[in-house]
Amino acid sequence: MFERRSALAGVSGTARIGESRGWGLVQAAAFASTHAQFREDMRAILGAELPTSVGTVVRVGERQLLKTGAEQYWIITRAADGDFAPAIPAQMGAVTSLSHSRTCMFVEGEGAGAILSKGVPLDFHPESFRVDQFALTGVHHTPVLIHRSGAQRFDLYALRTYALTVWEWLEDASA
């Protein structure tokens, strides 16, 4: 099996920005004719209800469930969880492992939202963008998913191809 290599190999983080490692990402999408059954089966597999609106995160132990579209979900796991994709029966919908196609970076500490505000068209005030909310947006013309994972922490999931571009933007914005 191939070892996962970071798109940010060779760059070093700071006290405010860094790369998260040791996680997995699966996208699950229901077939059009099976939405209700899909939600029921996923509840049985995951042990929790799926989020009902785009932009919200449901935590189930170490897993995070994100609704990213109409009957489309991201399931973020810890690496110790293994490959979660085979746990979802293929007849339920399309299941795609995205772990190797994304890089997760974080910005944390006092003023983390202010750093992101320099180039992201969102309101990062804690009353507007709460813990366990996310947005599909862009950073410097690059699509990213930004998840407020803590009071002063934001996780950014960027396509691996553009990870270095997002990283360099974060370094400039935090300087």
Q: What is the pLDDT of residue 104?
A: 95
Record the pTM: 0.88
Which domains are present in the chain?
Answer: 23-97 (3.30.70.1520), 100-174 (3.30.1360.120)
Cβ atoms 102, 25 nearer than 8 A:
yes
The string of pLDDT tens digits covering residues 73-122 is 999 988 656 556 666 766 778 888 888 899 999 999 999 999 999 999 99
Report the distance separating Cα 17 and Cα 101, nearest Å: 20
Nearest one of 2, 15, 143, 119 to 68, comparing CA atoms? 143
The 8-class DSSP code of residue 117 comes to: H
Q: What is the pLDDT of residue 6?
A: 74
Judge residue 123's burial from the number of C-beta atoms within 10 Å of its C-beta, 0-12 exposed, 13-18 middle, 19 or more buried: exposed
Q: Extract the residue ranges of the chain whose pLDDT is less than 70.
A: 1-5, 9-10, 12-13, 15, 32-33, 79-87, 89-90
Q: What is the pLDDT of residue 61?
A: 87
Number of H helices, E strands in the chain: 3, 10
Cβ atoms 168, 140 nearer than 8 A:
no
Q: What is the pLDDT of residue 4?
A: 66
